[in-house]
Chain A
Amino acid sequence: MIARNGSARKAGPQGMGKNPMPVAVRNLTKHWPGAERPVFSSLDIDCPAGGITIIVGPSGCGKTTLLRCLSGLETPTSGSILFGKQDVTQVDSQHRGVAMVFQNYALYPTKTVFENIAFPLRMARLDPQSIRTRVRAAAALTRMEPYLDRYPAQLSGGQRQRVGIARAIVRGPAVLLMDEPLSNLDTKLRIEMRAELGALQRQIGSTTVYVTHDQTEALALADHLIVMRDGRIEQQGAPEDIFTSPANTFVADFLGSMNLVDVTRSEDRVFVTSGAVRLDGLPKAPLSPMFRLGFRAEDVQLGPVDGEKATLPVTVRRSELMGSERLVHMECGGLALRARLKEVVRPDDRLELHIPAGALHYFDETGKRVAGAV
C-alpha cells in the first residue's frame, strides 16, 4: 500500500501539509580549541527540500561533526546554517526542532517503546489524545505496533532502531538527521532496513541529512550525495553523476573502488609507468606526458569489443567465485588490478583486458579528472 510508493523521487502527496524546507550551510568551519587543524573549513552545502542528502566519507573526514552542527549539539566556529530562510546557527538544539536517529539507537532504557516514541510529544506538551494517535501512526509506519509495551532491552537491534526512527518522525520534523543509523545492524538486516528507510522518508517528506561511511548505502539512498575527505568536500551532486564521472581519484576509488593505473606518454606510445608495459588504444586520452587511467572492475571485458577501447596485457593472480561471476585479481606492470568476469580464468594465465571507451576515466597527476567517460 503506502510502503510501495518508495520509487517516487520527490516527496509525493503523502508528505502532506508539510512544507519541506531546504537546508543550507554557508562557509561553515569547525575548529576544536587547541586542535592543529579544523575538523572542516568553509563548507558550502545545499540539501534539497524533502530529499535525502547523504554525506559519505571515511572515518575522521568530519561528516559526523557536520551533522552534529546541523543538530545544534555542536556550535560551529564560524559560518551559518540555514533552515529554509531562517538562520538557526545560534539556536540551541532543544529549540531547533530537528529530529535525529543515532547509530547506537539512544533509546531511553527505563521507558516502554510507547513512551520512547511519545517523549518528544510530551516535551511539546501535546494532549494525550494526539499523543496516542501520533505514536500509533509512527509505530505503524515503522511496523512496531505489536511492541509498544516492551522495553528497549527486550527488542532486537533492528527493532530498537525502528523505535529510534519512530521517535524521530513522530513530531513531523522539518529536518531529519541520521547518524549512521544502520551501522550497528548485521548485513542482511542493513539491506532490508535501507530499503524501508528510503520508502519511509518519501512518505514523511522531511528534508533528511544522512551520514554514513558505507558507499553502497550512499548510492542506494541519496537524492543528493556529498563525498567528504579530511574536512573538505571532494564532490557533491546527484549520485549517478558522481558515480559516472568522479571528480578525482579519491571519489573514484571511494565509490566503487576504481582500478587506477599511472600512465606515461613518450612520443606516440603509452606505458604503465611502474612496469613499462605498453598500452593500446586509450581513446580521448590526455596529451600530457603523465596521467592516470581509471576503470571499474565490472567494465572489463575479455572477448572482442566493438568500437573504441583500451587494451591492457595482464597476468592472473587469484580468482574468487562470487556467485554468477568471479572477482579476478590480476597484475599489470607490478600493479594490482581487479576485474569482474564471467569467464573461468586460472592463476598465471596471461590475458588481454579490453575496456570500452565509455568506461574509461582519465585523471591528471594531482588526481583531478581531465577527460573520459561521461
Chain B
Amino acid sequence: MTVSPAAVLTPIPAAPTGMGPRIAPYLLVGPLMLLLFVFAILPCLLTLLLAFFDVDILAGTIRFVGFENFTRAAARGEVLNSLRVTFTYILLTVPPSMILGLLIALAINSLRRGRAIWQAVYFLPVAATLVAMSIVWRWMFVGRRGIVDQTLGQMTGLVDWLNSPVLSLPAVAIVGNWQQIGFVVVLYLAALASVPRHQIDAARVDGAGAWHRFWHVTWPAIGPTTVFVGIITSVNALRVFDTVSTMTGGGPSRSSQTLAHLMWERGIYFFDIGGGSVVTLVLLALAIAATALQRIMTARLEKAGTR
C-alpha cells in the first residue's frame, strides 16, 4: 500500500530559541560602522585638529601652533591660486563636456543600428587608466615634436602648451573633456531611454519638427539629469589630480595647480601636514557642499523615478 502524501508530512519540531536574533544585527553592521567611523568621520574631525598643529610625522612630534598654518598659507597665496585654477578648470570642462555629451547622446539615440558600437567607442576613455593616458597626452602635447604642435600648433601658432602659463590648464582641461564625455554620454543615454516613446510619437503626429520635439518633450524629461550631471562633473573636477600630476606637475609656476594637487604637494611632497590640512579644509568644505547637493539630488531623482 502506498503512503498518502499527507501522511509523510509529520511535524518537525521548531528550532530551540537562542540569543541569535538579538545580537545578529549588531554583528552584521558592526564592521561597517567601525570602518566608516575610522575612515570617514574621524578624518573630518582630525582635519580640524591638524590644521591648528604642527605635525612632524617622521619625528612623531605634534605642537599646537594656533592659526599659524592659516596665516602661512595666506602669505603663500597658493590656496587662492588653486581655488581660481580649480574653478577655471570647472568652467573649461563642465559646460563643454555636457554640451558635447548631450549632442553625442542625441545622435546615438537617434540611430537604429550601431548604437552599442558608438557608445563603446566614446566610453573607452572612461575605462582606460587615466594616468597612463595622461602620459600619452603629455607626449602628444610635447613641444615642437608632439602631434599637437605639429598640426594645431602650425595652424594657430599656439605651441608648447604644457610649458605655457596660459595654455597648460587648457591642455589639462582638454584631456579632462576627452575622458569625461563618454561618461556624460552614458548618463544622458540612460535618461533618453526613459523619455516616454508615446509622447514623442504624439508630438510627431501633431506635426512637431525635430527641434520642437526636443524642446517640448525630450528636454523637460532629461532636465533633472542635466542638473545631476552638472553637479557630478563639478565634483569630479574637485578631485582632478592624475592629469595635473603627470602632464604639468601643477606648473608652470602653479598655473595649473588644482586644489587636489596642492593638497598632495603640501601634505605629502613637502611633508607639511598642517599646511596640507588647511587645503584639506577648503577642499572638504567644497566637496561636502557639492556632494551633499549631489546626494540630495540623487535621492530626489530616485524618489521621482527619473533614473
Q: Which residues of A contact B (CB under 8 A)?
A: 2, 14-18, 91-92, 94-97, 120-121, 123-124, 126, 133-134, 136-138, 140-141, 169-174, 203-205
How many A-B pairs have beta carbons closer than 8 Å: the answer is 66
- Set of chain A residues within 8 Å of B14, measured between Cβ atoms: 95-97
Whether A126 contacts B17 in the complex (CB less than 8 A), given A137-B5, A137-B6, A203-B6, comes out as: no
The CA of A116 and the CA of B36, in the complex, are separated in Å by 36
Q: How far is the CB of A101 from chain B (nearest CB, A)?
A: 15
Q: B7 at the A/B interface (Cβ < 8 Å)?
A: yes
- Set of chain B residues within 8 Å of A133, measured between Cβ atoms: 8
The CA of A295 and the CA of B6, in the complex, are separated in Å by 43
Q: B9 at the A/B interface (Cβ < 8 Å)?
A: yes
> Which of A121, A126, A137 has the most CB atoms of chain B within a 10 A radius of its CB?
A137
- Set of chain A residues within 8 Å of B11, measured between Cβ atoms: 17-18, 97, 171-174
Whether A123 contacts B15 in the complex (CB less than 8 A), given A92-B21, A94-B21, comes out as: yes
Whether A91 contacts B17 in the complex (CB less than 8 A), given A137-B5, A138-B5, comes out as: yes
Asked if B8 and A17 make an inter-chain contact with CB atoms under 8 angstroms apart, the answer reads: no
Q: How far is the CB of A222 from chain B (nearest CB, A)?
A: 21
- Set of chain A residues within 8 Å of B7, measured between Cβ atoms: 14, 16-17
- Set of chain B residues within 8 Å of A173, measured between Cβ atoms: 11
Contact with A along B9-23 (1 / 0, CB 8 A): 111111111001100
Whether A140 contacts B21 in the complex (CB less than 8 A), given A121-B12, A124-B15, comes out as: no
The CA of A348 and the CA of B183, in the complex, are separated in Å by 72
The CA of A172 and the CA of B7, in the complex, are separated in Å by 9
Asked if B12 and A2 make an inter-chain contact with CB atoms under 8 angstroms apart, the answer reads: no
Q: B4 at the A/B interface (Cβ < 8 Å)?
A: yes
Q: How far is the CB of A22 from chain B (nearest CB, A)?
A: 15
- Set of chain A residues within 8 Å of B9, measured between Cβ atoms: 134, 137-138, 141, 169-172, 204
Q: Which residues of B contact A (CB under 8 A)?
A: 4-17, 20-21
Asked if B16 and A95 make an inter-chain contact with CB atoms under 8 angstroms apart, the answer reads: yes
Task: Kindly report which residue of chain B lies nearest to residue A15, judged by CB atoms.
Answer: B6
**A-B residue pairs in contact (CB < 8 Å), sample of 17:** A2-B4, A14-B4, A14-B6, A91-B17, A92-B21, A94-B15, A94-B21, A95-B14, A95-B15, A96-B14, A124-B12, A134-B8, A138-B9, A171-B12, A172-B11, A172-B12, A205-B6
- Do most interface residues of chain B lie in helix, strand or loop, or is the interface mixed? loop
Task: Kindly report which residue of chain B lies nearest to residue A92, judged by CB atoms.
Answer: B21
The CA of A121 and the CA of B15, in the complex, are separated in Å by 11
User: Can you name 19 extra interface pairs (CB under 8 A) apart from A97-B12, A203-B4?
Assistant: A2-B6, A15-B6, A16-B6, A16-B10, A18-B11, A94-B21, A95-B14, A95-B15, A95-B16, A97-B14, A120-B12, A123-B15, A124-B12, A134-B8, A134-B9, A138-B5, A169-B9, A172-B12, A174-B11
- Set of chain B residues within 8 Å of A95, measured between Cβ atoms: 14-17
> Which of B5, B11, B16 has the most CB atoms of chain A within a 10 A radius of its CB?
B5
The CA of A96 and the CA of B14, in the complex, are separated in Å by 6
The 3 closest A-B pairs by CB, nearest first: A97-B14, A137-B5, A137-B8
Task: Kindly report which residue of chain A lies nearest to residue B22, judged by CB atoms.
Answer: A92
Q: How far is the CB of B81 from chain A (nearest CB, A)?
A: 55
> Which of B10, B11, B14, B21 has the most CB atoms of chain A within a 10 A radius of its CB?
B14
Q: How far is the CB of B235 from chain A (nearest CB, A)?
A: 36
The CA of A151 and the CA of B28, in the complex, are separated in Å by 29
- Set of chain A residues within 8 Å of B8, measured between Cβ atoms: 133-134, 137
Task: Kindly report which residue of chain B lies nearest to residue A88, judged by CB atoms.
Answer: B14
Task: Kindly report which residue of chain B lies nearest to residue A142, judged by CB atoms.
Answer: B5
Task: Kindly report which residue of chain A lies nearest to residue B8, judged by CB atoms.
Answer: A137
Q: How far is the CB of A226 from chain B (nearest CB, A)?
A: 25
- Set of chain B residues within 8 Å of A124, measured between Cβ atoms: 12, 15
Task: Kindly report which residue of chain B lies nearest to residue A14, judged by CB atoms.
Answer: B6
Task: Kindly report which residue of chain B lies nearest to residue A19, judged by CB atoms.
Answer: B11
- Set of chain A residues within 8 Å of B17, measured between Cβ atoms: 91-92, 95
- Set of chain B residues within 8 Å of A15, measured between Cβ atoms: 6
The CA of A17 and the CA of B20, in the complex, are separated in Å by 32
The CA of A134 and the CA of B11, in the complex, are separated in Å by 11
Asked if B10 and A18 make an inter-chain contact with CB atoms under 8 angstroms apart, the answer reads: yes
- Set of chain B residues within 8 Å of A172, measured between Cβ atoms: 9-12
Whether A141 contacts B12 in the complex (CB less than 8 A), given A91-B17, A92-B21, A94-B21, comes out as: no
The CA of A170 and the CA of B15, in the complex, are separated in Å by 16
- Set of chain B residues within 8 Å of A121, measured between Cβ atoms: 12
Q: How far is the CB of A89 from chain B (nearest CB, A)?
A: 13
- Set of chain A residues within 8 Å of B20, measured between Cβ atoms: 94
The CA of A205 and the CA of B21, in the complex, are separated in Å by 31
Q: How far is the CB of B13 from chain A (nearest CB, A)?
A: 7
Task: Kindly report which residue of chain A lies nearest to residue B15, judged by CB atoms.
Answer: A95
Q: How far is the CB of A203 from chain B (nearest CB, A)?
A: 4
Task: Kindly report which residue of chain A lies nearest to residue B3, judged by CB atoms.
Answer: A137
Task: Kindly report which residue of chain A lies nearest to residue B4, judged by CB atoms.
Answer: A2
The CA of A141 and the CA of B10, in the complex, are separated in Å by 14
- Set of chain B residues within 8 Å of A171, measured between Cβ atoms: 9, 11-12
Task: Kindly report which residue of chain B lies nearest to residue A18, judged by CB atoms.
Answer: B11
Partner of B13, one of A97, A123, A136: A97
The CA of A137 and the CA of B6, in the complex, are separated in Å by 7
Task: Kindly report which residue of chain A lies nearest to residue B21, judged by CB atoms.
Answer: A92
The CA of A174 and the CA of B17, in the complex, are separated in Å by 18
The CA of A278 and the CA of B6, in the complex, are separated in Å by 60
Task: Kindly report which residue of chain B lies nearest to residue A96, judged by CB atoms.
Answer: B14
Q: How far is the CB of A245 from chain B (nearest CB, A)?
A: 36
The CA of A204 and the CA of B6, in the complex, are separated in Å by 6
- Set of chain B residues within 8 Å of A203, measured between Cβ atoms: 4, 6
Task: Kindly report which residue of chain A lies nearest to residue B20, judged by CB atoms.
Answer: A94
Whether A141 contacts B15 in the complex (CB less than 8 A), given A92-B21, A94-B21, comes out as: no
- Set of chain A residues within 8 Å of B16, measured between Cβ atoms: 95
The CA of A59 and the CA of B306, in the complex, are separated in Å by 32
The CA of A14 and the CA of B21, in the complex, are separated in Å by 36
Q: How far is the CB of B239 from chain A (nearest CB, A)?
A: 37
- Set of chain A residues within 8 Å of B12, measured between Cβ atoms: 97, 120-121, 124, 126, 171-172
